[in-house]
Amino acid sequence: MNNYDIDLIKKYIEKSKQEEAIKKYKEGYPVQYLIGNVDFFGNKIIVNEKVLIPRFETEYLVDDTLKLLKKYNFINPKTLDIGTGSGCISIALKKNIKCEVTAVDISRDALEVAKKNAEINNVEINFVKQAIEDFSSFGNFDVIISNPPYISMKEKIDPKTKHEPHNALYSNEDGTYFYRVILEKAIDILAKKSIIAFEIGDKQGSKVIKMAKELFPKANIEIKKDLNDFERYIYIINK
């Protein structure tokens, strides 16, 4: 529990509902869901139990991707955000560069939230309900960005995330299943000059790099750490 969160509840939740909200918060319910929105990369993002709460680590994924797009001179890149959830990544990209964004998610409920977020942030995004496994004829993209579910199914459920959608957090193959599927599909849908940007789990770097090297042997592959010094991001740059 933290007093700052209690202050937020008092500031943003109407008086008659504060007592109940504080009770729920003390029982471990996320303050972000109680308040109903978060700031992500300077944009207001509505959240509820249908979507993962955007993490600040993911802001670095956006920031690095924007820097790479600039460095390699991408102009109006066609971008695919896989597992968009609240839409926070797509919205942050749209707010910062000219780009065409398609954002997919398997969850209809998450897409509803993402659409609302695009609306309140005044950006146009092409939302598609689709499972990653079912991608076909998706056209050509210059950029794939994804913060897929990456916690291993074998891990115990963290009480901090128990109210979040589990299909946004957990995946097979020690949490690396979606990287494999995305990389395999990426070969068919990415332009020759392209970037794949992933957020990864802290023990997944070498495995994901190995997969990427097999599928994209000529790419520049960069791995970056988060503020806690954990390997957290992988960038695959096809020049």
Q: Residue for token digits 């972000």?
A: 32
Judge whether 155 and 87 are in contact, CB under 8 Å. no
Decide whether 59 or 100 has the Cβ nearer to ligand GLN.
Answer: 59
Q: Which two tokens stand for residue 27?
A: 């029982």
Which residues in 55-74 contact ligand GLN (CB under 6 A)? Answer: 55
Q: Is 95 in the site for ligand GLN (CB under 6 A)?
A: no
* Shortest CB 11 distance to ligand GLN, Å: 25
Which residues in 153-172 contact ligand GLN (CB under 6 A)? Answer: 161, 169
CA atoms within 13 A on the CB side of 54: 32
Residue count, binding to ligand GLN (CB under 6 A): 8
Q: Tell me how far apart the alpha carbons of residues 75 and 209 are, in angstroms, rounded to a whole number.
A: 27
Q: Taking Cα atoms as reference points, which of 108, 78, 112 lies closest to residue 93? A: 78
Write each residue from 122 to 151 as x if it is in contact with ligand GLN (CB under 6 A), else as -, in one continuous string. -------------------------xxxxx
CA 151 to chain centre: 13
Decide whether 178 or 216 has the Cβ nearer to ligand GLN.
Answer: 178
Interacting residues with ligand GLN (CB under 6 A): 55, 147-151, 161, 169
